[in-house]
């Protein structure tokens, strides 16, 4: 793992932006994208730039089950607001939160990933070491699936909702196996509350108790962390 320590999320976003630029120069066609507060500085740098994604494809990691694309808490909406409105891709895929047939939806998404191999995958990390919505206990080789969210993730994401009860209890998420097929993985983490997860991901055993530890088995991973997130390494 190539670890880059930065002073803050602003500098991290700039470094991540440079990695995006290199990927484009390298002819990358498919970008795996993530939501959450972590990638926002990257998306700001992308939208402020003159980079062009109009002939590229994006595939998002996950979506809450039950939220429509125009629901402001949905990941569809997040991506429109933070990136796609200003920087459109030729095609952007996000799981369909309103799909009621989970098997059909997860199969549809796996087919999309198989048809569009990911060149650069962006990741954040949950406090419990989750990536996408692959919670502790998820198989490290899994494909897209419907996941029950853990209480820790519900609590962490409650800040975006009016009441804790409004946080969806399930999500559709790309699996760790699908994430591992990306040619290059870029994980970002900022702040003290990510320090434990980063320490376990980098130095701990590879275990499905810490889903991000699977990245130790990938040969091209870059991690951008600020000093607080790196403080337990
Ligand atoms: C959510 C998302 C993850 C994200 C994580 C951390 O659970 N499904 O993709 O990495 O939150 O979010 P944040 O970047 O806001 O800390």
**Which residue segment(s) compose the domain that 145 sits in?**
2-226
**Is 47 domain-assigned?**
yes
CATH of the domain at 151: 3.40.50.1360
pLDDT of the residue at 153: 87
Q: Say how many domains are in the chain.
A: 1
CA of 127 to the centre of ligand 1 (A): 9
Classify residue 231: in a domain, yes or no. Answer: no
Q: How far apart are CA 21 and CA 139, in angstroms?
A: 32
Is residue 156 pLDDT above 90, yes or no? no
Q: Which residues are catalytic?
A: 62, 128, 130, 135
| 8-17 tens-digit pLDDT | 999 999 999 9
Which ipTM score applies to this complex?
0.96
The answer to whether residue 102 is domain-embedded is yes
pLDDT in the model for residue 217: 98
Residue count of the chain: 233
Find how far residue 14's CA is from the centre of its chain: 17
By most ligand atoms within 8 Å of CB, the mutation choice from 13, 33, 34, 36 for ligand 1 is 36
Q: Note whether residue 113 is domain-resident.
A: yes
In a domain, 233, yes or no: no
What values do phi and psi take at 207, rounded to 5? -150, 150
- b/e per residue, 147-173, with b = 16+ CB within 10 A? bebbeebbebbeeeeeeeeebbeebbb
Phi-psi sector, 129: left (phi>0), alpha (psi -120 to 50), beta: left
Residue 87 lies in a domain: yes
Q: For residue 232, tell me if it sits in a domain.
A: no
- Does 128 sit in the ligand 1 pocket, CB within 6 Å? no
Query: Quick check: CB of 149 below 6 Å from ligand 1?
Result: no
Residues 6 or more apart whose CB falls under 8 angstroms from that of 158 comprise 164, 167
- Looking at the domain assignment, is residue 207 inside a domain? yes
């Amino acid at each position: 793992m190539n670890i880059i320590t930065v002073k803050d999320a602003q500098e991290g976003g700039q470094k991540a932006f440079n990695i995006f630029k290199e990927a484009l120069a390298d002819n990358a066609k498919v970008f795996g994208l993530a939501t959450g507060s972590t990638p926002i500085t990257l998306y700001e740098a992308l939208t402020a730039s003159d980079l062009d994604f109009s002939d590229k494809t994006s595939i998002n990691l996950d979506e809450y089950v039950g939220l429509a694309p125009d629901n402001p808490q949905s990941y569809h909406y997040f991506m429109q607001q933070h990136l796609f409105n200003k920087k459109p891709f030729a095609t952007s895929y996000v799981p369909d939160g309103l799909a009621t047939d989970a098997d059909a939806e997860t199969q549809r998404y796996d087919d999309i990933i198989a048809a569009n191999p990911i060149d650069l995958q962006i990741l954040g990390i949950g406090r419990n070491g989750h990536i996408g919505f692959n919670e502790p206990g998820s198989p490290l080789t899994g494909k897209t699936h419907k996941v029950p969210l853990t209480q820790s993730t519900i609590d962490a994401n409650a800040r975006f909702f009016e009441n804790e009860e409004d946080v969806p209890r399930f999500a559709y998420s790309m699996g760790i196996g699908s994430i591992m097929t990306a040619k290059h993985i870029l994980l970002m983490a900022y702040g003290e509350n990510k320090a434990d997860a980063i320490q376990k991901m980098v130095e701990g055993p590879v275990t499905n108790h810490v889903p991000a530890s699977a990245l130790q088995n990938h040969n091209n991973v870059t991690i951008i962390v600020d000093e607080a997130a790196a403080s337990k390494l």
